[in-house]
């Protein structure tokens, strides 16, 4: 492609900013990033309280976050944040240790069986499901893999046939059942459901295992984690500052018209002309959001194939509260509440984080899901009330709510559409209308997967 091609990137989150970085690295400097908010970072949002930043979105990374590390190297920064740790409580607020045999004598047989199944799953993923951990979903529904290896930072291209990969379209619960590794869900659920990515009886295994590939999941288990002193948003603020063309903030896109050769974007009343479009913002939002955010097909001249495919996308309702506590009520550590990570407990607090361990003058952040595809959605107001009551039950009551957020979270398709080749149909449309589709839906809703997909998109098409 001509290096002078003029490119519009919609979205200043990890995916959009990474697209700019990787384009620059390949010699494409004629790009512009349009961000609707007054900040960059997307779901990496790290506000400040009492002189320190806390996390309302992404919290941590792991050593296999190669795309995030690319951004760090590009900016000359590193993961220098507080060391995280955690403990567990039941729904009544009692501290428990579910993975410690000495504290769970009666559960020793189950724990031993779980440990064996984790080993079996690891072996299955390397053999029966070879190719499962590539970024993105190209070919999976057709029983093949195509992409760049995530075995190390080199990310060399690989491809092959593997009919077993079709199993990844199944809900993760069913995937575990057919492979006789049901107890592995006890481990995978912590960094999956509590992080807002839905429930194992509804979400295709592909999403679970591409995000929590075996190596990544074991890093979470061993608490081998990265954090950033100034928050995850700092990564993307720094990247934005180091780009030759930082994101244009407060960009309200009113209309997009695509002709045979050009893309016309009306932003803040001005019509801008581009040759190519990279969309990292939501492609479709199935309901009217309180914050006014709209999906791509609502403001562009969407074609029938785009409408048909993108209307299959759903997303999670995942809410975050940042609360103050009295010093005597401040938790000594972060807590996971496994009892609340089931559909029957929709709207209840699944996890709450204490980021700064050296002081009690900081906030605690809480996280709750309020949607399951087969259940009535819990309202935001009811969820908020439940979370505040849960904090009282946990003996860490909130004295004040200082921030709250209900963000468009984890766009995905369900098993039937995944198995029917949704991803291959969308991939076949890349550049069809001078438009490239990237962002969370094309890979997974965490900062590294979205950034990695942008890298691969640039490698494949530019």
Over residues 135-171, the pLDDT tens digits come to 999 999 999 999 999 888 899 999 999 999 999 999 9
Which H or E run includes 437? strand 435-437
| Per-residue pLDDT at 102 exceeds 80 | no
Q: pTM value?
A: 0.96
Q: How confident is the model at residue 101 (pLDDT cuts 50, 70, 90)?
A: confident
- Pair of tokens at residue 138: 């190209």
Question: Which residues are CB-contacts of 181 (< 8 A; sequence separation ≥ 6)?
Answer: 117, 118, 120, 121, 124
Which domains occur in the chain, in start order? 7-80+228-313+413-461 (3.50.50.60), 99-221 (1.10.405.20), 316-410 (3.30.70.1990)
- Left, alpha or beta for 155 (phi > 0: left; psi -120 to 50: alpha)? left
The mean pLDDT value of the chain amounts to 96
Return the percentage of the chain with pLDDT > 90, whole number: 95
CB of 284 within 8 A of CB of 412? no
Res 390: pLDDT: 98
| Per-residue pLDDT at 106 exceeds 90 | no
Question: Which residues are CB-contacts of 130 (< 8 A; sequence separation ≥ 6)?
Answer: 145, 160, 162
Res 100: pLDDT: 84
Q: Between β-strands 276-279 and 7-10, what pairing exists: parallel, antiparallel or unpaired?
A: parallel
Q: How confident is the model at residue 433 (pLDDT cuts 50, 70, 90)?
A: very high
Q: Between β-strands 400-412 and 314-324, what pairing exists: parallel, antiparallel or unpaired?
A: antiparallel
61-77 mean pLDDT: 97
């Amino acid at each position: 492609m001509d290096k002078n091609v003029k490119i519009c990137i919609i979205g200043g989150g990890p995916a959009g900013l990474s697209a700019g970085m990787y384009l620059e690295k390949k010699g494409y400097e004629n790009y512009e990033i349009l961000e609707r908010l007054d900040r960059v970072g997307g779901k990496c949002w790290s506000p400040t309280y009492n002189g320190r930043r806390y996390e309302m979105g992404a919290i941590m990374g792991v050593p296999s976050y190669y795309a995030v590390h690319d951004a760090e190297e590009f900016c000359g920064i590193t993961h220098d944040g507080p060391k995280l740790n955690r403990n567990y409580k039941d729904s009544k607020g009692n501290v428990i240790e579910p993975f410690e045999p000495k504290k769970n004598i009666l559960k020793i047989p189950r724990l031993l069986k779980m440990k064996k199944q984790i080993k079996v799953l690891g072996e299955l993923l390397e053999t029966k499901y070879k190719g499962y951990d590539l970024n993105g979903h190209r070919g999976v529904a057709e029983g093949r893999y195509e992409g760049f290896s995530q075995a190390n930072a080199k990310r060399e291209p690989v491809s092959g046939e593997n009919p077993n990969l079709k199993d990844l379209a199944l809900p993760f619960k069913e995937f575990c059942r057919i492979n006789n590794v049901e107890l592995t869900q006890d481990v995978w659920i912590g960094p999956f459901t509590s992080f807002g990515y839905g429930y194992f009886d509804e979400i295709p295994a592909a999403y679970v295992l591409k995000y929590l590939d075996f190596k990544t999941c074991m890093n979470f288990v061993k608490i081998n984690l990265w954090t950033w002193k100034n928050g995850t948003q700092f990564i993307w603020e720094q990247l934005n500052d180091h780009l030759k063309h930082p994101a244009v903030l407060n960009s309200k896109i009113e209309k997009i018209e695509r002709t045979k050769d050009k893309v016309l974007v009306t932003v803040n009343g001005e019509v801008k002309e581009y040759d190519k479009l990279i969309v990292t913002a939501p492609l479709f939002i199935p309901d009217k959001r309180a914050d006014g955010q709209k999906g791509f097909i609502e403001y562009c001249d969407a074609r029938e194939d785009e409408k048909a495919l993108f209307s299959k996308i759903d997303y999670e309702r995942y809410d975050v509260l940042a609360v103050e506590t009295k010093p005597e009520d401040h938790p000594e550590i972060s807590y996971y509440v496994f009892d609340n990570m089931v559909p029957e407990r929709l709207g209840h607090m699944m996890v709450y984080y204490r980021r700064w361990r050296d002081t009690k003058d900081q906030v605690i952040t809480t996280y709750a899901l309020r949607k399951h595809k087969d259940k009535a959605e819990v309202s935001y107001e009811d969820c908020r009330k439940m979370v505040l009551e849960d904090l009282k039950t946990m003996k860490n009551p909130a004295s004040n709510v200082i921030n709250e957020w209900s963000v468009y979270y984890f766009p995905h398709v369900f098993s039937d559409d995944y198995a029917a080749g949704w991803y291959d149909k969308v991939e076949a449309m890349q550049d069809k209308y001078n438009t490239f589709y990237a962002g969370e839906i094309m890979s997974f809703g965490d900062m590294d997967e979205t950034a990695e997909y942008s890298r691969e998109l640039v490698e494949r098409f530019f």
